[in-house]
Amino acid sequence: MSYEWQELPADRVDEAARLLLGWRIAANGVTVRLSEVEAYSGLGMDPASHAHRGMTSRNEVMFGPAGVLYVYQIYGMHFCANVVCGQEGVASAVLLRAGEVVDGVELARERRKVTADRELSNGPAKLMQVLGLDRSANATSAVDGTGPATLLAPDGPVAAIEAGPRVGVTAAHDVPWRFWLKGDPTVSGYRRHVPRKRQ
């Protein structure tokens, strides 16, 4: 499968997300095969996107060029990574949610003290931890070999893909732009967003 990063229209970010499943991301001695991703358009129609209200110093990476990483911090300590896709100047990105460690398992185990290998990178922050990546990877290329992480094409057929609501967002949470490989044990658990009741 080939993927021309610069040619995918930003309003087809869901297609980019599907295409990323089965790809591998390699960094700092560990390689993870992607089993779960989420799409965010940022076209003004997606209130869950960091770019929904326009460009800021935090989200400007989402506006291109395609193939770079948009890395942000959550809860003041964890990092999440997105692959920017689509036309430069129009924000769209795919969150890397989960995957299977396929190379560097021992190193991944040192970075994540868990009992089951399927739990090494079954969440966006866990994935970043096993790859040894942090905010310093923001705005670096994942496709031309110059950045700390590199995306690699699938080395075989990709399993059936399923779709469902996104996780951990307070707006547009029922948009079915979370995609995962059917039956893959490394896919993260789903919890539907429940709005908080005001006292």
Summarised one tens digit per residue, pLDDT across range 56-92 is: 888 899 998 999 999 999 877 899 999 998 788 888 9
Region of poorest pLDDT, from 7-11, 16-20, 178-182: 7-11
pTM, two decimal places: 0.89
Evaluate whether residue 127 is within a structural domain: yes
**Residue span of the structural domain in which 165 resides:** 5-181
Q: Is residue 189 part of a domain?
A: no
Question: What CATH code is carried by the domain that includes residue 133?
Answer: 3.10.300.10
Q: Is residue 193 part of a domain?
A: no
Dihedral-angle region of residue 139 (phi above 0 means left; psi in -120 to 50 means alpha; beta otherwise): left
Q: Is 188 domain-assigned?
A: no
Burial code (b: 16+ CB inside 10 Å, e: under 16) for 175-185 equals: bebbbbbeebe
Given a cut of 70, whether residue 199 has pLDDT beyond it is no
* pLDDT single digits (tens) 28-42: 999 999 999 999 888
The answer to whether residue 195 sits within a structural domain is no
Residue showing tokens 């931890």: 129
Rounded-to-integer distance, Cα 1 and Cα 170, Å = 34
3-class DSSP assignment, residue 72: strand
Give domain status of residue 199, yes or no: no
The number of folded domains in the chain is 1
In a domain, 197, yes or no: no
For residue 190, tell me if it sits in a domain. Answer: no
pLDDT tens digits along 141-192? 999 999 999 999 998 888 899 999 888 777 777 888 999 999 999 998 776 6
DSSP 155: S
Residue recorded with tokens 């997105």: 82
- 3-class secondary-structure state, position 50: coil
